[in-house]
A and B are shown apart, each in its own frame.
Chain A
Amino acid sequence: QKEVEQDPGPLSVPEGAIVSLNCTYSNSAFQYFMWYRQYSRKGPELLMYTYSSGNKEDGRFTAQVDKSSKYISLFIRDSQPSDSATYLCAMSVGAGNNRKLIWGLGTSLAVNP
Chain B
Amino acid sequence: NAGVMQNPRHLVRRRGQEARLRCSPMKGHSHVYWYRQLPEEGLKFMVYLQKENIIDESGMPKERFSAEFPKEGPSILRIQQVVRGDSAAYFCASSPPRTGGAGTEAFFGQGTRLTVV
Contact = CB atoms under 8 A, between A and B. Distances in A.
B96 interface: no
Contacts of B108: 36, 43-45
B102 interface: yes
Contacts of B111: 41-43
Contacts of B56: 97-98, 100
A105 B103 contact: no
Interface in B1-34: 4
B117 interface: no
B102 A101 contact: yes
A52 to B, nearest CB: 13
Contacts of B107: 45-46
Contact of A99 (B40, B91, B102): B102
Q: How large is the interface on B (under 10, 10 to 19, 20 to 34, 35 or more residues)?
A: 20 to 34
A88 interface: yes
B58 to A, nearest CB: 8
Contacts of B106: 46, 101
Interface string B41-80: 1111100100000011000000000000000000000000
Given A44-B43, A44-B91, A100-B56, A92 B102 contact: yes
Given A43-B108, A46-B106, A46-B107, A99 B43 contact: no
Contact of B109 (A43, A101, A104, A106): A43
Contacts of B4: 43
A45 B108 CA distance: 6
A45 B104 CA distance: 11
A41 B43 CA distance: 14
Given A100-B102, A103-B45, 8 more contacts: A41-B110, A43-B93, A43-B110, A43-B111, A45-B107, A96-B101, A97-B100, A101-B106
Interface of B: 4, 40-45, 48, 55-56, 91, 93, 100-111
Interface of A: 32, 34, 36, 41-46, 49, 88, 90, 92, 94-101, 103-106
